[in-house]
């Protein structure tokens, strides 16, 4: 498996080529500076999860595309301990349990928020929903402008096409499953 910076670099280059976008156009579409995109493409920067979300949103692709290549359809057994990594420079560990598959319309992660972690997420594309199930620890979700405490066994589904956030103000890590569902693309007119 190639190092994460090399994988991010090749993925971003491929997406730009597929879209026919210059670095300037990619910066405009993603809201990430041309300089940062260039650093990522050269393997010189490991962006935050928030930056990866911006890039994924700008290219209209799922976040998991930046974590690992799509898995073969016959792979169904995944072990979080074998997949867990820190793909960005922030205090979140990510285990991509199931990469996005258009047949199912979702991607699923095991996420670990280390103590003191806080992140605000910009709205995803219209119709995207998130499902959060806390496996261990305690965390808070910013939903409808208010922080909601989630403890082990708590679950919530929410519209992720509005601003939301995640934080762990505790001394122990908070671990949860996050299933992100994407709406089916509208059928194109003939």
Do 166 and 124 share a structural domain? yes
Q: What is the pTM of this model?
A: 0.70
Can you list the residues of the chain whose pLDDT is less than 50?
Answer: 1, 188-190
Do 86 and 109 share a structural domain? yes
- Among the three residues 20, 35, 66, which one is the final residue of a domain in this structure? 66
| CATH assignment of the domain containing 164 | 2.60.120.10
**Triad 172, 162, 151: Cα angle to 5°:** 25
Q: What is the pLDDT of residue 76?
A: 65
Do 56 and 111 share a structural domain? no
Q: What is the pLDDT of residue 2?
A: 52
Q: What is the pLDDT of residue 168?
A: 96
**3-class DSSP string for 126-175:** CCCEEEEEEEECEEEEEECCEEEEEECCCEEEEECCCCEEEECCCCCCEE
With respect to residue 75, please indicate whether it lies within any of the assigned structural domains.
no
Q: What is the pLDDT of residue 134?
A: 97
Do 11 and 96 share a structural domain? no
- Whole-angstrom Cα distance, residue 122 to residue 164? 7
- Whole-angstrom Cα distance, residue 91 to residue 137? 15
Q: What is the pLDDT of residue 190?
A: 45
Q: What is the pLDDT of residue 183?
A: 87
Number of structural domains the chain divides into: 2
Question: What range does the domain containing 130 cover?
Answer: 80-181
| CATH assignment of the domain containing 25 | 1.10.260.40
With respect to residue 170, please indicate whether it lies within any of the assigned structural domains.
yes
Q: What is the pLDDT of residue 130?
A: 96
Q: What is the spatial order of strands in the sheet that 146-151 belongs to?
A: 118-121, 164-167, 138-143, 146-151
């Amino acid at each position: 498996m190639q190092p994460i910076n090399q994988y991010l670099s090749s993925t971003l280059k491929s997406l730009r080529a597929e879209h026919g976008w210059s670095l300037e156009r990619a910066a405009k579409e993603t809201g990430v500076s041309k300089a940062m995109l260039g650093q990522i493409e050269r393997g010189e920067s490991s962006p935050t999860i928030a930056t990866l979300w911006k890039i994924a949103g700008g290219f209209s692709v799922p976040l998991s595309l930046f974590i690992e290549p799509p898995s073969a359809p016959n792979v169904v057994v995944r072990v979080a301990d074998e997949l867990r990594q820190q793909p960005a420079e922030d205090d979140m560990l990510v285990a991509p349990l199931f990469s996005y598959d258009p047949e199912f319309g979702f991607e699923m992660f095991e996420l670990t928020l280390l103590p003191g972690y806080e992140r605000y997420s910009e709205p995803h594309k219209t119709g995207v929903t998130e499902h959060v199930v806390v496996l261990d620890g305690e965390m808070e979700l910013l939903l409808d402008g208010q922080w909601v405490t989630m403890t082990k066994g708590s679950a919530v589904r929410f519209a992720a096409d509005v601003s939301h956030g995640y934080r762990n103000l505790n001394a122990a890590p908070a671990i949860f499953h996050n299933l992100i569902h994407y709406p089916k693309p509208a059928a194109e007119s003939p």
